[in-house]
Amino acid sequence: MSAADPKTPRPYPKLRVVDGLASAPEPLDFDAMFRRYSPYVASVGLRLLGRDDELDDLVQDVFLEAHRGLSRVRDTGAIKGWLARICVRRAVRRLRRRKLRSWLSFDELGYEPREETHDASPETRAEVARLYRELERLPPLVRAAWVLRRLEGQSLDDVASACRCSKSTVQRRLRDADTHLRGLRGVSTEDEGT
């Protein structure tokens, strides 16, 4: 049976056994979840936002929302995907607000070099800055799909799950982004195995 098959039982957290009787499921350990997945959420968030001035707030927002919904998690194996969905949704909101603020103030959408590019050559830093300036011009949902697939290397199924859309919508968004980004040096717009 497949995971999508309604007859397949969903895994639940372990039941505690007290005096030989099963009681309520053990709550998931939020601190352990945070320690394990916060680097992943920060990595995805940084690549989605393109700069780190909002990263701490984004990670905090993601885990606040996760804390509120933790009691509803039934499949502990799906936590990473669940956090990715929250992160994408929150990052897309921030990108939309950033675009609106930029439009209202007539400011240029800027790119701040990320810490990981400080040791890179000036040419590489310039290319990364150019890539993120071009990503700023994409609609946030198109940008999210491209970043998750091309920069994070996630599968189409994982991207579709994180973006809460169909696989064909992800493929369309990737084509739109690839068309826009074609010609940037060092940017892969090819998709192996789609």
Instruction: Supply the pLDDT for residue 191.
Output: 61
Q: Residue 40 in contact with residue 34, Cβ under 8 Å?
A: no
Instruction: Supply the pLDDT for residue 136.
Output: 87
131 vs 187: CA distance, rounded Å: 8
Beta-sheet strands, E only, within the chain:
15-18, 21-25
User: Which contacts of 90-95 are long-range, i.e. CB under 8 A and separated by 24 or more positions?
Assistant: 90/45, 90/58, 90/61, 90/62, 90/65, 91/44, 91/45, 91/48, 91/49, 91/58, 91/140, 91/144, 92/48, 92/140, 92/141, 92/144, 94/49, 94/54, 94/58, 95/48, 95/49, 95/140, 95/143
DSSP 25-40: EPPP-HHHHHHHHHHH
Instruction: Supply the pLDDT for residue 91.
Output: 96
130 vs 99: CA distance, rounded Å: 17
Q: For every one of its 194 residues, what pLDDT tens digit does the chain have, with 9 covering 90 and above?
A: 444 444 544 444 443 444 444 444 445 688 999 999 999 999 999 999 988 889 999 999 999 999 999 888 888 888 999 999 999 999 999 999 888 777 666 555 555 545 455 577 888 888 888 888 888 889 999 999 999 999 999 999 999 999 999 999 999 999 999 999 987 755 655 664 44
Instruction: Supply the pLDDT for residue 159.
Output: 96
Residue 80 sits at the vertex; the CA angle it makes with 79 and 81, to the nearest 5 degrees, is 90
Sorted by sequence, the CB contacts under 8 Å of residue 86 that are 6+ apart come out as 62, 65, 66
Instruction: Supply the pLDDT for residue 25.
Output: 43
Please tell me whether residue 155 adopts helix, strand or coil conformation.
coil
Instruction: Supply the pLDDT for residue 129.
Output: 83
